[in-house]
Amino acid sequence: LSLLKGKDLISSADFQMEQINALFNLSIQLKKEERRIDLGNRVLGLIFSKASTRTRVSFQVAMARLGGQVVDLSLQATQIGRGEPVKDTARVLSRYCDALAIRTYSHEELIEYANWASIPVINALTDLEHPCQALADFLTIKETFGKLKGLTLAYIGDGNNVSNSLILLGAILGVHLRVACPSGFEPSAWVVEKARSLASFDSTLQILNEPVEAVRGANAIYTDVWASMGQEKEQQERKEIFKKFTVDENLFCEASQEAIVLHCLPAHRGEEITDELIESKASKIFHQAENRLHIQQALLASLLGGL
């Protein structure tokens, strides 16, 4: 875990399997309150260009539990919203804060922050990836089944930031990924090639256009919104294109008997997933949300060298 000290977390592809397993173990210890870590008043800056409940609050609470603090750098209250260059903001904030968690539209903007900052920069979601979410999701799957290697995760819907991070992290962890998207909404070639190059334990990646083919016999069924933040104008058009991709009881019946259902939230009930499935016994959706707190606490402790 000390390998993570001082590093950035930009992509799910940045991890090695040993680091992820160490993060999972530490998260579970923190969750069970078997371990306490005091970072000694370190400060995390939050720069969020998009709305957030889970990511924002879980980072705030994680820092509080580590004896540190959070500075909320809202775009309106700072010079960021008035267009101060990233290279200036990043260097100034590096002199005040110990790490930055950043949510942007463009992934390149996040990389620019990381290039200019001298402190760890954490991807709190970009249009390309959501690595903190994927860490919490695989922790949830591991807690449920006691293992990850050889399991099958079916992702149904838009080939977006959430699915990209699941594909990359799943490949590293030896999970088989089946992704079903409408034609034209599949994950980008970059993500698919990268995942294939990272694949361990013969894990496989299938990109499909039929939800039922992806779900058949799978251990975990995952979906996310059809229109992500920044795509609000396409919402109506996408509703039509994605209507065969709702995760409902009928589709879920095709999964393995002990299968679980996952969603990063926030959800559009009745669109990508039914209300019944979110509330069903198979749903681990609120465990996922909780695990954001534990995994990010472990991540912050590692990046900030508190171990």
* Catalytic center residues: 103, 130, 133, 224, 264, 292
Interface with ligand NVA, residue 123, by CB under 6 A: no
- Asked, as a colleague might, if the bond just before 182 is cis with ω within 30 of 0, I would say no
250 makes contact, choosing from ligand NVA, ligand CP, none, with CB < 5 to 8 Å by partner type, with none
The answer to whether the annotation marks 224 as part of a ligand binding site is: yes
**Residue 267 site contact among ligand NVA, ligand CP, none (CB < 5 to 8 Å, cut-off depends on kind):** none
131 annotated as belonging to a binding site for a ligand: yes
Site string for ligand NVA, 186-205 (x = CB under 6 A): --------------------
String of contacts with ligand NVA for each residue 78-107, x by CB under 6 A: ------------------------------
Identified binder of ligand NVA from the candidate list 49, 104, 140, 160, rule CB under 6 A: 160
Residue with smallest beta-carbon separation from ligand NVA: 228
What residues numbered 220-249 form the site for ligand NVA, per CB under 6 A?
224-225, 228-229
Interaction partner, residue 228 (ligand NVA, ligand CP, none; CB < 5-8 Å by kind): ligand NVA
Q: Residue 53 touches which of ligand CP, ligand NVA, none (CB < 5 to 8 A by kind)?
A: ligand CP
Residues interacting with ligand CP, by CB under 6 A? 52-55, 125, 133, 264-265
**What residues from 242 to 281 belong to the interface with ligand NVA (CB under 6 A)?**
264
How many chain residues bind ligand NVA (CB under 6 A)? Answer: 9
- What is the binding site for ligand NVA (CB under 6 A)? 125, 160-162, 224-225, 228-229, 264
